[in-house]
Chain A
């Protein structure tokens, strides 16, 4: 049983679960590997196997759009939008999370509103935001209404994560700091932030991912220039898949790179922490 200290031979359950995990990973990645292979299809763009005349033409198509839609342009909107959502989500969720450590009037109402904002079907909110903007006389754009729509989705997630993280933060650390004469700001900087930092990374990751891949809430709210998921959706109404497969491959590679960077930075931070102080 894993309850025992982590030394000694592994129980049989480990192998069963490890097998399950492996199968799950294969399940997750299987279709994507199929996509990876198919993205090298030649000009007789067959959508199924076998691979004929391997070529890089569909990757070229991505960057020089003919029929395929403006992938690069859409990416140049999705990426800054996701980064913006990520930053705002961290800032807003973290500060709100701190607020919730105390009882204040309206706390329950705001909490349930946030949950409701998560639950509301994206399509519904999309219509609502578009109509709201219309009555206010504003035009919908990806950096105003689109940003807001994404935030309505990412903030509740961030809030819930912060709840979980701050819940583990024992007040004794902060009290010890005060006793030692630290100011409030110093305490936050030196004691609280380092402890909740992994949580903040989780919030950032979630915020980015949720925004980057968001479709239903963006559908009507991004204005005339599409974000990447919307562009891909309209591409399926006009274009055949190998270009989409090439896009899938490129995106996955980019994700791997970002994960690698994130992981290495976590390792570096851990190392610095254990070394320093």
Chain B
């Protein structure tokens, strides 16, 4: 970001300004996560509780159990599919809002129209897909009536399809916002220059718009990955319990207070997500782009 003008000699105001953030992060992120890591090395004895003997048993158990890997594979599969779809949707919708809508107020209005659903609880929005996708639901009834099919489609609900639909429904906005923000900063004269230089419509997008929206895309990807990998109820409810996810494993362990194993599983999940985030940051140095 732009540096502060006329350098003042005292750094005190700066430290004071960043202090509240630091305190909150310390108390509500660093300490809790540290505790989780510590607990993951404890032992759990059923009916007794957590026994503070340091052991790596939890990690060994989890990492050597093929189910763990199956669950992570399943979660990653969903993450990639949802990422791809939300990227395509997010990019083109942001593009439409920034470059095709002429009136700023209209753009903001349309943007807000996309936001309104987010104030209805995620859970309600998710279960509202049931009367639409179910065997007696809207889509099936419509298809049956028009004679397109003669048996209701059962893969619309309680399947991978319904999980992906729900994820896209819930998380596309998180892709739209950062991309919208990046695109809005693109200097229009660059586009004009490209057109003048003879670039086709597609060429302008590929060579100018896309690279300049890198930051927004990276942030959007980060948000979506985080949300999908950290989710436990969308996948359980929409798949009808037929699919598990990394977090549903943690949730199961919490059912009977096996904190150490849940903690170990959580640490593994955190590491994987951090690795993905690091990879995204490798591709796009978000900090540099933002703090210009």
Interface residues of A (CB under 8 A from B): 1-4, 6, 10-11, 13-14, 17-18, 20-21, 24-25, 27-32, 34-35, 38, 47-49, 91-93, 95-102, 104, 107-108, 110-111, 113-125, 127-129, 131-132, 135, 148-149, 151-152, 155, 159-161, 163-164, 166-172, 174-175, 178, 205, 209, 212-213, 215-216, 228-229, 232-233, 236, 241, 244-245, 247-248, 251-252, 254-256, 258-259, 262-263, 266-267
Contact = CB atoms under 8 A, between A and B. Distances in A.
A96 B29 contact: no
7 cross-chain pairs, A with B, having the tightest CB-CB distances, nearest first:
A128-B32, A121-B230, A3-B191, A255-B119, A99-B17, A2-B99, A99-B18
A241 B112 CA distance: 28
Given A118-B226, A159-B21, A160-B219, A20 B93 contact: yes
Interface of B: 1-6, 11, 14-15, 17-18, 20-22, 24-25, 27-33, 35-36, 39, 89, 92-93, 95-97, 99-100, 102, 105, 108-110, 112-125, 127-132, 134, 136-138, 141, 169, 172, 178, 181, 185, 188, 191-192, 194-195, 201, 204, 219, 222-223, 226, 229-233, 247, 250-251, 254, 259, 262-263, 266-267, 269-270, 273-274, 277, 287, 290-292
A132 B169 contact: no
Nearest to B122: A213
Contacts of B191: 1-3
B5 A164 contact: no
B1 A169 contact: yes
> Which residue among A121, A251, A266 has the maximum number of chain B CB atoms within 10 Å of its CB?
A121
Contacts of A96: 17-18, 20-21
Give the interface SS of chain B, mostly helix, strand, loop or mixed. Answer: helix
Nearest to A150: B28
Given A17-B100, A101-B2, A125-B33, A25 B14 contact: no
A207 B277 CA distance: 22
